[in-house]
Amino acid sequence: MTTQVLLDVRDVRRSFPKPGGGELLVLENVDLALNQGEIVGLLGRSGSGKSTLLRLISGLASPQGGTLNYLGAPIDGPPQGIAMVFQSFALFPWLTVLENVQLGLEALHIPPQEIRTRALAAIDLIGLDGYENAYPRELSGGMRQRVGFARALVVHPNILLMDEPFSALDVLTAENLRTDLIELWSDGRMPIKGMILVTHNIEEAVLMCDRVLLFSTNPGRVAGEIKIDIPRPRDRTDPRFEAYVDRIYTEMTARQRAQRAERGTGPNVLLNHVSPNSVSGLIEAVAAPPYNGKADLPDIASDLQMEVDELFPVAEALQILRLGDIEGGDIKLSHMGKRFAEAELNERKEIFSRALMSHVALAAHIRRVLDERANHTAPKRRFIDELEDHMTEDAAEETLRAVVSWARFGELFSYDDETEQFSLENPA
Ligand code: ADP
Ligand code: MG
């Protein structure tokens, strides 16, 4: 028997108009296939275009280039047989659980009695028996997301798309729902043939998926693929499990590093806003025992109770400032990073300030402009305009916000939020 290809996405491209003109390229050269019997994970940082890709697959938006085929036919409009579960549950508050679930079937021209029977079966399957007449507000977050799943499953889709379905839930609730879902899947009790799980949580991807596609940012594309070869049910403490988590961390950070090298270090490079506090926190944690200057990223992430989305930008800031480096899934403090860890506040500020002048071209640029001007001030607009030639409005704002908070900590220059002016005086 040959495996059926449920979904085939080839060379897909999608951009959006930028507010100030031009186009923001969100997806480029995206290839993806989903075969019968598979759970495929899409793992990437927020803003990498994962939700956009799911919208294209579910026919809610169309690509500007490339092809999307579902069961061999091009997708043009929402196909029957592809259902989606959202992070935000997306339930109607004025409808009961049963009514919310039945809603999925109303467009399908099915006799009312069958609608009811199928909705009750889906509710039963997902563990909501007894809650048919409850309203969403009467349910916990986990129960609400179960309604989200029931509503998707009731149409008996071939493909279930899940857009970060567990990320709005607390840790235990999320884990219960994941376990139940995998059990239903493994037992063949869900009327579906394949699933795509969008997530920014590496462990979740390793727990649930047969294959994980690593999504890169700017533009989003599939930059790597890892097959997870562990039988189910999977155990998070299994050494094989940990090895996969480690390997994915390693690949994702290596890619980030390569991307930054490619983008260069000029004054128009996008910077993620990361507070100096988070930078200090990470340095201190890595400097302290048991790590003593070098830590495995997954270990330090779980120690700091952070997720990839939170840890990567901080680790990246450390790299940009050359206070640390990331290699092979480890984060290692540089000589300056170690000094920073041991220093008092004033010396820390000095180290930060010097790192900014040497390694953050935009900070050095702003400082030079302020030095050269007679009144030592300059409006924010001056720098935003420069940045917007190279990035979106949002990205320019975030980049400037990052530099402002770093420069404040290093006392390199100051910025007044009200007048939107940079200056050299220290208000303190
Ligand atoms: P992810 O799900 O990976 O976080 P998204 O697909 O939501 O990423 O968004 C990727 C990028 O595309 C973001 O910069 C977002 O602002 C932009 N984007 C998404 N949808 C639209 C839209 N309808 N119009 C303009 N920009 C959009
Ligand atoms: Mg998203």
2: its two tokens? 């040959």
Query: Do 154 and 122 touch, CB atoms closer than 8 A?
Result: yes
Considering the chain, what percentage of its residues have pLDDT values greater than 70?
A: 97
**Where in the sequence is the domain holding 383, given as residue range(s)?**
276-423
Residues 226 and 331 in one domain: no
Ligand 1, atom 5, residue with closest C-alpha: 49
Nearest to 160 by CA among 77, 85, 86: 85
| Pure H helices in 42-137 | 50-57, 97-106, 112-125
Would the CA dihedral through 230, 233, 236, 238 be positive or negative?
Answer: negative
Ligand 2 centre distance from Cα of residue 353 (Å): 35
Residue 271 lies in a domain: no
Same domain, 303 and 389: yes
* Cα–Cα distance measured from residue 415 to residue 151, given in angstroms and rounded to the nearest whole number: 50
Encode pLDDT of 3-33 as tens digits. 799 999 999 999 998 777 778 889 999 999 9
For ligand 1, atom 6, name the residue with the nearest CA. Answer: 49
Mean pLDDT of 82-109: 91
Strand, coil or helix: 397: helix
134 and 56 share a domain? yes
Residue 191 lies in a domain: yes
User: Cα separation of 226 and 113, whole Å?
Assistant: 45
Strands 39-43 and 211-216: parallel
Separation CA 23–CA 282 (nearest Å): 36
Task: Give the model's pLDDT for residue 24.
Answer: 86
- Average pLDDT on 259-279 reads 79
Same domain, 246 and 316: no
What pLDDT digit, counting tens, does each position of 130-164 carry? 999 999 999 999 999 999 999 999 999 999 999 99
Whether 260 maps to a domain, the answer reads no
Residues 339 and 391 in one domain: yes
CATH code (residue 233) = 3.40.50.300
Q: Which atom of ligand 1 is nearest to the CA of 164?
A: 2
Q: Are residues 111 and 207 in the same domain?
A: yes
Averaged pLDDT, 382-410: 89
Q: Report which DSSP code applies to 164.
A: S
Q: What is the pLDDT of residues 196-213, one digit of tens each?
A: 999 988 999 999 999 999
Helix runs in 264-307, H state only: 276-287, 297-303
Residue 40: its pLDDT value, please?
A: 98
pLDDT of 233 > 60? The answer is yes
Ligand 1, pocket-test mutation among 12, 24, 26, most atoms within 8 A of CB: 26
Assess whether pLDDT exceeds 60 at residue 279. yes
Q: For atom 25 of ligand 1, which residue has the closest CA? A: 16
What is the distance between the alpha carbons of residues 51 and 47, in angstroms, rounded to a whole number?
A: 9
Question: Helices in 58-94 by DSSP H: which ranges?
Answer: none
Q: Kindly state the average pLDDT of the residues 263-273.
A: 76
Percent helix, strand, coil in the chain (nearest 5)?
A: 45, 20, 35
**Is 132 within the bounds of a domain?**
yes
Q: Enumerate the H helices of 75-218 as residue ranges.
A: 97-106, 112-125, 141-153, 171-186, 202-208
Task: Report if pTM > 0.75.
Answer: yes
| CA dist., res. 98 & res. 125, Å (int) | 13
Closest ligand 1 atom, residue 215 Cα: 3
Using the mean position of ligand 2's atoms as its centre, give its distance from the Cα of residue 324 in Å.
Answer: 30
The answer to whether residues 386 and 290 belong to one domain is yes
Return d(Cα 178, Cα 204) in angstroms, integer. Answer: 8
Closest residue by CA, ligand 1 atom 20: 52
Domain-located, residue 148: yes
Tell me, yes or no, whether 396 lies in a domain. Answer: yes
Same domain, 237 and 295: no
Q: Please check whether residue 289 lies inside any domain of the structure.
A: yes
pLDDT at 427: 41
Domain count, the chain: 2
Cβ count within 10 A of residue 413: 25
Q: Are residues 97 and 140 in the same domain?
A: yes
Span from the CA of 50 to the centroid of ligand 2 (angstroms): 5
Asked if residue 192 and residue 153 are part of one domain, the reply reads yes
- Sequence letter at residue 147: V
Do 188 and 301 fall into the same domain?
no
Question: Which pLDDT value is given to residue 216?
Answer: 86
Summarize pLDDT for 75-92 with one digit per residue, the tens.
999 999 999 999 988 899
- Reported as a pLDDT band with limits 50, 70 and 90, residue 264 is low
Determine contact, residues 357/363, Cβ cutoff 8 Å. Answer: yes
User: What is the whole-number distance in angstroms between the Cα of residue 47 and the centre of ligand 1?
Assistant: 6
Q: How many of the other CB atoms lie within 10 Å of CB of 49?
A: 26
User: What pLDDT score does 263 carry?
Assistant: 65
Question: What DSSP character marks residue 379?
Answer: E
C-alpha span between 323 and 350 (Å, rounded): 13
Query: Does a structural domain hold residue 261?
Result: no
297, 168: one domain = no
How confident is the model over 395-407, as pLDDT tens digits?
A: 889 999 999 999 9
Domain-ending residue, one of 217, 251, 285: 251
| Nearest protein CA to atom 13 of ligand 1, as residue | 47
Of 232-241, 252-261, 386-395, where does mean pLDDT reach its minimum? 252-261
Q: What is the pLDDT of residue 409?
A: 94
Residue identifier of the C-alpha nearest atom 21 of ligand 1: 16
Ligand 1-lining residues (CB < 6 angstroms): 16, 26, 44, 46-52
- Over residues 353-374, the mean pLDDT reads 91
Atom of ligand 1 minimally distant from the CA of 61? 23
Q: Where is pLDDT greater, at 313 or 404? A: 404
315 CA distance to ligand 2 middle (Å): 22
Cα of 51 from ligand 2 centre, angstroms: 4
Ligand 1, atom 19: closest residue by C-alpha? 52
